């Protein structure tokens, strides 16, 4: 046999190696998709957290205003 000819077992090894490489590429692609989705979810949660913090500050200011208004309504 010459060096260019491959034996059946080496063909199987080559095919198996190619299949493993293709599988690894597919798995990496899926992991990249999952990473992208988690990043999007994390970004949205951070925005929601910021909005919640802003609303909490607004509520505190409104509560202070209500206390001030109640103070004005008290008859002395």
Domains of the chain: which residue ranges? 45-76
For 13-67, the pLDDT digits (tens) are 778 889 999 999 999 999 999 999 999 999 999 999 999 999 999 999 999 999 9
- Cα gap 66→60, rounded to integer Å: 10
- Cα gap 23→5, rounded to integer Å: 27
Q: Which residue has the tokens 């493993």?
A: 20
Q: pLDDT confidence of 12, banded at 50, 70, 90?
A: confident
Asked if the model's pLDDT at residue 3 lies above 60, the reply is no
Q: What is the pLDDT of residue 56?
A: 92
Q: pLDDT confidence of 4, banded at 50, 70, 90?
A: low
* Nearby residues of 14 by Cβ (< 8 Å), 6 or more positions away: 6
pTM over 0.75: no
* Nearby residues of 21 by Cβ (< 8 Å), 6 or more positions away: none
């Amino acid at each position: 046999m010459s060096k260019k000819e491959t034996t059946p077992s080496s063909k199987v090894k080559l095919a198996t190696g190619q299949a493993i490489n293709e599988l690894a590429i597919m798995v990496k692609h899926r992991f990249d998709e999952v990473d992208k989705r988690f990043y999007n979810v994390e970004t949205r949660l951070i925005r929601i957290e910021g909005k919640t913090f802003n609303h909490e500050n607004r509520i505190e200011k409104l509560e202070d205003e209500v206390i001030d208004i109640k103070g004005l309504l008290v008859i002395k």
